[in-house]
Amino acid sequence: MLENLVNTKSKVFIVFLFSIASLGILALSTQVAVVLCSMWYGIIVGICLMILAIPLHILAKRWMFLYAFSFLVNFIGCGFSVSAYYLTNGIAINLFELIVATIPAVAILVLIYLMLGIYSKTKRTTLSIAAVLNFALLVAAVVFWIRTGGTFFSFGFFCLLVSMFSICVFGVTINHDERPVLRDISYGSFGSFVILTIVVIVILSEGDALEISDLGIEGLDRKKKRKAK
């Protein structure tokens, strides 16, 4: 029992550290990408980096430390993808603004870490509360982003998407002692990249990407109905 408790607390600490690091990497890589890229090219670079992270993740089954590199490469890719939003819309950003915008997501992660450390027996309750708070902050960020267009709310939104995946990683890894924590963290980085990139593409296409997917789904439904007849 004591061994499981120690193992759980160490996993919580590791996930917490990587989650905080992910936000820092996201902010720094976004700032760098804004300097290096133009328009939406950051998305292409981001996708290339994500593809590069795949063999790292696979090889990590043999060399565990490569999961950390997979995580790092993915979140650098996240920053490049996110930069496309600011570059395409001509929004000037600086690293200080981006770091400040991470505060809500950091607060959620700190809350999870403290709650799981103090009340380790209430994992589900803690993570459920954190997920609800995270979602509420996401909604608030979207509302104020639309109203003000400020960097704090836009980048804060992207960070809260990342923290939502961190909550998922917390939930998965601490409830299964046999799961390698670094592998779950690496998986989470892939999830973060995919959702951030999709969100940026949808925003830049002003919803056209969703309309295209809807048309594709409708087309498939029509074909199925014809076959059924």
The model's pTM is 0.82
Q: Chain centroid to CA 86: how far?
A: 18
Mean pLDDT, rounded, of the chain: 82
CA distance linking residue 33 with residue 30, whole number of Å: 5
45-59, 122-136, 171-185, 211-225: range with lowest mean pLDDT: 211-225
Segment 30-53 mean pLDDT = 90
Q: Between residues 80 and 11, which one has the greater pLDDT?
A: 80
pLDDT at position 224 over 70: no
Each domain of the chain, given as residue ranges in start order, spans 2-228
pLDDT digits (tens, 9 = 90+) for 163-200: 998 888 888 877 666 678 888 899 899 999 999 999 99
pLDDT for res 3:
37
pLDDT at position 91 over 90: no
